[in-house]
């Protein structure tokens, strides 16, 4: 299943709409549709989406080693240009 498909499934499980996520990400509903159609979610988008959906996003390094990605890992706004 694609990333877009997984996010859509989680939205459905959490009784949220695409528009709710678009509002949370501070983008238009059209931009949200484009992200789903293209599968163009950035790491920041995924971190924010996991926070919005009250889910955990992490790297699984095996043997019970999991490194979480959280809102604290987001780039500061001024670093997004680089």
Q: Model confidence at 81, in pLDDT bands (50, 70, 90)? A: very low
- φ/ψ (deg, to 5) at 13: -60, -35
Tokens for 78, please give them: 């001024």
pLDDT in tens, 32-45: 999 999 999 999 99
Domain 3-79 top-level CATH class? mainly alpha
Question: How much is the pLDDT for 44?
Answer: 95
Tokens for 23, please give them: 């509002």
pTM (2 decimals)? 0.83
Residue 30 vs residue 77, higher pLDDT: 30
pLDDT in tens, 45-79: 999 999 999 999 999 999 899 999 999 998 787 44
């Amino acid at each position: 299943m694609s990333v877009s498909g997984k996010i859509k499934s989680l939205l459905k499980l959490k009784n949220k709409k695409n528009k709710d996520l678009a509002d949370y990400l501070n983008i238009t509903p059209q931009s949200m549709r484009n992200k789903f159609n293209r599968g163009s979610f950035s790491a920041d988008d995924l971190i924010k989406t996991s926070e919005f959906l009250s889910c955990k996003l992490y790297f699984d390094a095996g043997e019970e080693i999991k490194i979480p990605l959280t809102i604290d890992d987001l780039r500061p706004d001024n670093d997004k240009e680089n």
